[in-house]
Amino acid sequence: MIEFKNVSKIYDTGTEAVHNATFTIEKGEFAFLVGQSGSGKSTLIKLILKEEEASKGNIIINGKDITYLRKKRVPYLRRSMGVVFQDFRLLPDKTVYDNVAFAMHIVRATQKHIRRQVPMVLSLVGLSNKAKMYPNELSGGEQQRVALARALVNNPSMIIADEPTRKFRSRDSLGNYEIIE
């Protein structure tokens, strides 16, 4: 369960990215946040992950007010969430298999569990045949599916995805993705 109560986020630059947001997303609910570029969608997700601190209001995750959660506790909060970032955030020097396995390694899963679970989620996202590839050898959509597999692999209580349906072409010379859809 995710609850926002009168949450605002004003960056140090003075930009108010989120203004007085109040909403509840119940267990089992699918919620879609739609808005123009720059309207604050990614910021709202960063507030849920506690990558950014709210300037005002309260954020309650699974019944716990995370507004004043200590930095040390943040990794435990993140473990309840599977996250697909807008830029995927894959590890470039690890294979598809190892990118997903690494997420399990971090939460101290056993080798046996990892060997069973990783092929299962890779099959779920249709990437069984790409397990040995590196991220730069994949299409944008394939990279996105690796990110999704990684988000799912630890059976989190919630999945948070930033622009899960936007498609990308390969990176340009500056390393930015070109958007085609």
Ligand X SMILES: Nc1ncnc2c1ncn2[C@@H]1O[C@H](COP(=O)(O)OP(=O)(O)OP(=O)(O)O)[C@@H](O)[C@H]1O
- Site for ligand X, rule CB under 6 A: 11, 13, 15, 17, 35, 37-43, 86
Total residues belonging to the chain: 181
Contacting residue, 42, 99, 143, 154, with Mg ion by CB under 5 A: 42
Residue 173 interface partner, choices Mg ion, ligand X, none, CB cut-off 5-8 Å depending on type: none
DSSP H helical ranges for the chain: 41-49, 74-79, 96-106, 111-124, 140-152
How far apart (Å, rounded) are the C-alpha atoms in residues 143 and 134? 9
Residue with Cβ nearer ligand X (35 or 92): 35
Q: How far is the CB of 95 from ligand X (least distance, A)?
A: 28
The values of phi and psi at residue 61, to 5°, are -115, 125
Nearest Cα residue to 150 out of 86, 109, 113, 96: 96
Residue 28 interface partner, choices Mg ion, ligand X, none, CB cut-off 5-8 Å depending on type: none
Residue with the CB atom nearest Mg ion in the bound state: 42
Residue 43 interface partner, choices Mg ion, ligand X, none, CB cut-off 5-8 Å depending on type: ligand X
Q: How far is the CB of 180 from ligand X (least distance, A)?
A: 16
How far apart (Å, rounded) are the C-alpha atoms in residues 177 and 143? 12
